[in-house]
Amino acid sequence: MRISFVRRDHASRPAMLLAPVVAFACAIVASVILFTALGKAPGQALYSLLLEPFLTWYNFSEVLLKMAPLLLIAQGLAIGFRANVFNIGAEGQLIIGAIAASALPVWYPQGDSALMLPAMLVMGAGAGMAWAAIAAMFRTRFNANEILVTLMLSLIAAQVLNYLLLGPWKDPHGFNFPQSVMFPDAALLPILLPGTRVNISLLFALVASVLAYVLMRHRFAGFQLLVGGLAPRAARYAGFSEARAIWLSLLLGGLAAGLAGAAEVAGPLGQLQRSVSLGYGYSAIIVAYLGGLNPLGIVVSAFVMSVIYIGGDNAMVSADLPVAAVWVFQGLLLCFYLAGLTFIRHRVSFSRKALP
């Protein structure tokens, strides 16, 4: 007997909704097997990973805190991914955004101007955009693959951050730790939910989600972007430009990531640190895909991924799992989801003979 995929006439809605759920279940099963093989207690790990984030208000608020950068970046990236522009360097754009935003409080640690915070956010978003613009320029002007260029720019950004924190921007009273001075109050984002660390960057992310939805659904620009990426030739005949799709995708992605970076240093961190990004830029890629590159789906997947982040922190303590376990889980999740996506446009067929 031969098992093969046959194209469906119409995309299957049930498969579309089921794919992420089934992928999530499969990723859990696979990680349980893996963690058991490594001699960890899988029950404890799962409890920490999936339940503990919901058990106390503090834990749940931390999920919302993590959700802000993931959601913001993923919405920015999904615009590009839908147009087949693969910006995988959000990590670097976030780091550069965080650096640019930190410049003001590092230079004016006593600053108390009300303009400080808005200026930081603008600088962060602008710097993230500029960093992504390098890739857009190399792609449109020199035809250089944006996947590789954005990734290289991320590696460079990480080194620039190291340089600043080990050298000129290191806190002179910081016991030689690679981190900047603590920011003044004027450089910190207002808290959104009293008693927690959740700040208004969550609102930025939600607004970005609405804007992304409007762009995708109701704007001609969104349509042009889609066609420009998916069918460059058709787009050219219709007078849409591929270069514009590339520029727009990368600039919006960079803007979102840069703003997220600024919000991290002006939010929960309160200073520039080496660990300013815990791989948000890479996780956001997974968030974007798991959300089906759909602005509404991404809100859900960003929430799920934040649960895993916070749960992973808990599991580190309670089940003695390293941070890497979260990456393994995320990688598995995306693998299963991509496999599951096939069932949206294909159905399985069992046939006796090989097809001619």
Partner 1 sequence: MNAVDFILAGMLAAATPMLLAALGEMVVERSGVLNLGLEGMMALGAALGFITTYSTGSHALGFVVAALGGAALSLLFALIVLGFVANQVAAGLAIGILGTGLSSLFGKNFESLTIDGLPKLALPGLSDLPVVGVLFVQDAVVWATAVLALAIWAVMTHSKLGLIIRAVGENPHAARAIGFGVLRVRCGAIAFGGALAGIAGAYASTVYTPLWADGMIAGRGWIALALVVFGTWMTGRVVFGAVLFGALSLGELTTQAAGVNIPSQLLACVPYVVTILMLAVISSNRRRMRLNTIASLGQPFER
The residues that touch partner 1, with contacts defined as CB under 8 A, are 5, 7, 38, 86, 88, 138, 141-145, 147-149, 151-153, 155-156, 159-160, 162-163, 166-167, 282, 285-286, 289, 322-332, 334-335, 338-339, 341-342, 346, 355
| Alpha-carbon torsion angle 169, 310, 294, 335, nearest 10 | 100
The pairing of beta strand 2-7 with beta strand 346-351 = antiparallel
Distances (CA, A) of 87 to 226, 257, 344: 15, 11, 25
CA 109 – CA 175 distance, rounded (Å): 18
In whole angstroms, the minimum distance from the beta carbon of 277 to partner 1 comes to 14
In whole angstroms, the minimum distance from the beta carbon of 79 to partner 1 comes to 16
In whole angstroms, the minimum distance from the beta carbon of 138 to partner 1 comes to 5
In whole angstroms, the minimum distance from the beta carbon of 161 to partner 1 comes to 9
Name, in order, each residue with C-beta under 8 angstroms of 148's C-beta and a sequence gap of 6 or more.
none
In whole angstroms, the minimum distance from the beta carbon of 296 to partner 1 comes to 20
Backbone angles phi, psi at 35, to 5 degrees: -65, -35
- Given the complex with partner 1, which of 25 and 203 has the nearer CB atom? 25
- Given the complex with partner 1, which of 197 and 345 has the nearer CB atom? 345
If we measure between CA atoms, which residue out of 293, 290, 310 comes closest to residue 301? Answer: 290
With contact defined as beta carbons under 8 Å apart, do 171 and 180 qualify?
yes
- Given the complex with partner 1, which of 171 and 266 has the nearer CB atom? 171
- Given the complex with partner 1, which of 87 and 201 has the nearer CB atom? 87
CA 87 – CA 80 distance, rounded (Å): 7
If we measure between CA atoms, which residue out of 209, 200, 189, 187 comes closest to residue 73? Answer: 209
In whole angstroms, the minimum distance from the beta carbon of 56 to partner 1 comes to 27
- Given the complex with partner 1, which of 33 and 207 has the nearer CB atom? 33
- Given the complex with partner 1, which of 34 and 192 has the nearer CB atom? 34
- Given the complex with partner 1, which of 114 and 353 has the nearer CB atom? 353
- Given the complex with partner 1, which of 1 and 355 has the nearer CB atom? 355
DSSP string, 219-283: -HHHHHHHHHHH-HHHHHHTT--HHHHHHHHHHHHHHHHHHHHHHHIIIIISS-BGGG-SSHHHH
In whole angstroms, the minimum distance from the beta carbon of 323 to partner 1 comes to 8
Q: Which residue has the tokens 């916070």?
A: 310
- The angle at the Cα of 279, spanning 298 to 17, to the nearest 5 degrees, equals 25
- Given the complex with partner 1, which of 3 and 114 has the nearer CB atom? 3
In whole angstroms, the minimum distance from the beta carbon of 276 to partner 1 comes to 15
If we measure between CA atoms, which residue out of 183, 168, 166, 179 comes closest to residue 105? Answer: 183
The secondary structure element, H or E, covering residue 97 is helix 90-107
CA 206 – CA 37 distance, rounded (Å): 40
With contact defined as beta carbons under 8 Å apart, do 246 and 139 qualify?
yes
Q: Which residue has the tokens 């840069």?
A: 258
In whole angstroms, the minimum distance from the beta carbon of 240 to partner 1 comes to 20
- The length of the chain, given as a count of residues: 356
